[in-house]
């Protein structure tokens, strides 16, 4: 069995939905499809949650009307058999009526999750009915019946697999199962989410749960590029990445993959392929346990970083000082990305500043605190990177761009730089020039 995930742009229009059907037809064997909502729909649903806070029911009704028109227009374009067309519209209307009822409740995290996950529910049913209309047998599955994910960082894939098998054992045999990404059931048995972009994570959790032979993530980019093509010219797709390389790139900002996607499949060493829905014949990127080459592979950037510096003379030779600092961040469930230390100071970065004020209040007891926002982490990745002689050229960048922090040696596969976000593009372009254009680096294409 294979797990295929198609993102919002891949199912964003009637034409692209037809394209997904053609991709399925060209691939044999049993498949589980994990689908996102249509492009733009989740943003509209988030707007509804904002209006729930304001109790702006007129705006909510307007958005729901827009969603109804969008999905019914899609149904009319894809499903020409009257009975199936009516069933699909009735299903969408039922979902939207439920959305209307939910929107009358007081805002809460539970209400938020129930609202923002309805896009996937509507699209997957429409797609399932579209396949049936085209004579392609399939089974529609509700992910809420088996995506029991109590712990976001460490999902119980065995439980998900058991529940999945229970859900399909009484269904008519088919090669295609269709379900939703993004949604999960949490530890309180409430509808929740895997966070924005979490459909990738849904796919790898499910692939591990059903012991799939591979995962395919279909998007609108032809694989991992060696730099960010939005800011850097002449980037190229990388044919092969190790799990560790891909995990570093995803965590440190590569938009093509959700940061947690890799972790479930590492356990069972299930290969993951990144493919372009609109150019399906291109090879894309294969991510696996295999290491095909060493040295520099790619550069990515992560924005929204806050740098915190704690300066204290008491730190000098003070046993347990770092432990106390880390306990503050642990208390507020805030992860640290980068860290550097000196005799009298410690600098670190976070990407989640929701509890920043509370953290700073407690850190003030340990020394003088300096906070710098609007920074970016630039991550240079490759197997055995720190042994690659050409890597040293990145430090020439210090001549042109102020670098706030450098993390070197914590991993053989990653060197990270912290820069002011206003210098991010210049940094990406400068690194590309020094590390790729001026070096005889193999083109991993």
Q: What is the pLDDT of residue 3?
A: 98
Alpha-carbon distance of 226 to 244, in angstroms, equals 15
Which tokens belong to 138?
């399939």
Pairwise CA distance, residues 261 & 301, whole Å: 17
Final residue in a domain of this structure, among 196, 220, 244: 220
Does residue 260 lie within any of the structural domains? no
For residue 208, tell me if it sits in a domain: yes
Strand pairing partners for 32? 3, 177
- pLDDT surpasses 50 at 444: no
In angstroms, rounded to a whole number, what is the distance separating the alpha carbons of residues 328 and 356? 11
d(CA 92, CA 118): 10
321 and 198 together in one domain = no
Question: Do 191 and 325 share a structural domain?
Answer: no
What is the average pLDDT score of the chain?
92
* pLDDT (average), residues 232-258: 88
* One domain for residues 159 and 24: yes
List pLDDT tens digits, range 303-317.
999 999 999 876 655
Query: What are the tokens at 270?
Result: 């299930």
398 pLDDT exceeds 90? no
DSSP for 241-280 reads EEHHHHHHHHHTT-TTS-TTSHHHHHHHT--EEEEETTST
- Which domain CATH number covers 381? 3.30.2130.10
Residues 36 and 135 in one domain: yes
Number of domains into which the chain is organized: 2
DSSP letter, residue 237 = B
**In this predicted structure, which of 24-38, 175-189, 399-413 has the lowest mean pLDDT?**
399-413
**What CATH number should be reported for the domain holding residue 68?**
3.40.1160.10
Please report which confidence band the pLDDT of residue 442 belongs to, taking 50, 70 and 90 as the band edges.
Answer: very low
Q: 211 and 332 share a domain? A: no
pLDDT number for residue 62: 97
**Same structural domain for residues 91 and 214?**
yes
Per-residue confidence (pLDDT) for residue 441, from 0 to 100 = 45
Residue 5 is assigned to a ligand binding site: yes
Tell which phi-psi region holds residue 300, choosing left (phi > 0), alpha (psi between -120 and 50) or beta. Answer: beta
Q: What is the mean pLDDT of residues 165-186?
A: 95
Tell me: pLDDT of 190 over 60: yes
Q: Which residue has the higher pLDDT, 252 or 78?
A: 78
Quick one: average pLDDT of 240-254? 88
In a domain, 236, yes or no: no
β-pair partners for 88: none
Per-residue pLDDT at 443 = 44
What integer pLDDT is reported at residue 438 of this predicted model?
74
Residue 186's domain comprises 2-220
Say if residue 61 is in the same domain as residue 189: yes
267 annotated ligand binder: no
Q: Same domain, yes or no, for 311 and 207?
A: no
Per-residue pLDDT of 357-386, as tens digits, reads 999 999 999 889 999 999 999 999 998 887
pLDDT of 56 > 60? The answer is yes
Looking at 220, 245, 276, the residue that finishes a domain is 220
Is 6 flagged in the annotation as binding?
yes
Residue 392 pLDDT grade (very low, low, confident, very high; cuts 50, 70, 90): confident
- Regarding whether 9 and 143 lie in a shared domain, the answer is yes
83 lies in the same domain as 212:
yes
Q: What is the pLDDT of residues 128-174, one digit of tens each?
A: 999 999 999 999 999 999 999 999 889 999 999 999 999 999 999 89
Q: Is residue 230, in this structure, part of any structural domain at all?
A: no
Residue 7 annotated as part of some ligand binding site: yes
* C-alpha to C-alpha distance for 419 and 175, rounded to whole angstroms: 49
Tell me whether residue 258 is in a domain: no
- Residues 46, 161 within the same domain: yes
pLDDT of residue 316: 56
Q: Judge residue 26's burial from the number of C-beta atoms within 10 Å of its C-beta, 0-12 exposed, 13-18 middle, 19 or more buried.
A: exposed
Place of tokens 């055995």: 384
Is residue 94, in this structure, part of any structural domain at all? yes
Domain end position, chosen among 180, 200, 220: 220
- Of 295 and 364, more confident: 364
pLDDT of residue 312: 85
pLDDT given for residue 394 in this prediction: 83
pLDDT of residue 445: 40
Within-domain flag for 172? yes
In this prediction, residue 315 carries a pLDDT of 65
Q: What pLDDT band is residue 38 in, cutting at 50, 70 and 90?
A: very high
Asked whether the predicted pLDDT for residue 389 surpasses 80, the reply is no
Residue 70, domain member (yes or no):
yes
Does 192 lie in the same domain as 323? no
Question: What pLDDT, in 10s, does the model give residues 80-117?
Answer: 999 999 999 999 999 999 999 999 999 999 999 999 99
């Amino acid at each position: 069995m294979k797990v295929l995930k198609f993102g919002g742009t891949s199912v964003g229009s009637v034409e692209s939905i037809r394209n997904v059907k053609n991709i399925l037809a060209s691939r044999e064997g049993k498949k589980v499809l994990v689908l996102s909502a249509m492009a733009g729909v989740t943003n509209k649903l988030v707007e509804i949650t904002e209006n729930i806070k304001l109790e702006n029911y007129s705006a909510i009704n307007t958005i729901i009307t827009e969603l109804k028109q969008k999905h019914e227009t899609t149904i009319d374009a894809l499903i020409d058999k009257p009975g199936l067309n009516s069933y699909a519209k009735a299903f969408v209307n039922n979902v939207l009526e439920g959305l209307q009822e939910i929107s009358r409740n007081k805002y809460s995290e539970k209400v938020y999750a129930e609202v923002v996950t309805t896009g996937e529910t509507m699209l997957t049913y429409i797609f399932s009915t579209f396949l049936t209309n085209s004579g392609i047998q399939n089974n529609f599955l509700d992910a809420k019946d088996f995506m029991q994910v109590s712990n976001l960082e460490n999902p119980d894939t065995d439980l998900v697999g058991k529940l999945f098998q229970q859900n399909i054992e009484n269904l008519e045999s088919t090669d295609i199962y269709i379900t939703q990404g993004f949604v999960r059931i949490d530890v309180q048995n409430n509808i929740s989410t895997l966070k924005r972009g979490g459909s990738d994570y849904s796919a790898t959790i499910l692939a591990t749960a059903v012991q799939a032979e591979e995962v395919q993530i279909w998007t609108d980019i032809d694989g991992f590029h060696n730099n960010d093509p939005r800011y850097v010219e002449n980037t190229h797709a990388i044919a092969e990445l190790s799990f560790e390389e891909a995990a570093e790139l995803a965590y440190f900002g590569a938009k093509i993959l959700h940061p947690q996607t890799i972790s479930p499949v590492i356990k069972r060493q299930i290969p993951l392929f990144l493919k372009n829905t609109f150019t399906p014949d291109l090879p894309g990127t294969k991510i696996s346990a295999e290491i095909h080459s060493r040295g520099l592979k790619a550069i990515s950037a992560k924005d929204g970083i806050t740098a915190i510096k704690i300066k204290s003379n008491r730190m000098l030779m003070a046993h347990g000082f770092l432990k106390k600092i880390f306990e503050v961040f642990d208390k507020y469930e805030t992860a640290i990305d980068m860290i550097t230390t000196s005799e009298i100071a410690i600098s670190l970065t976070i990407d989640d500043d929701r509890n920043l004020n509370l953290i700073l209040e407690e850190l003030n007891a340990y020394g003088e605190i300096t906070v710098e926002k609007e920074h970016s982490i630039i991550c240079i990745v490759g197997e055995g990177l720190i042994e690659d002689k050409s890597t040293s050229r990145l430090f020439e960048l210090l001549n042109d761009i102020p670098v706030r922090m450098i993390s070197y040696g914590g991993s053989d596969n990653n060197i990270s730089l912290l820069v002011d976000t206003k210098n991010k593009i210049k940094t990406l372009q400068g690194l590309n020039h020094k590390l790729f254009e001026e070096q005889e680096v193999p083109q991993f294409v």
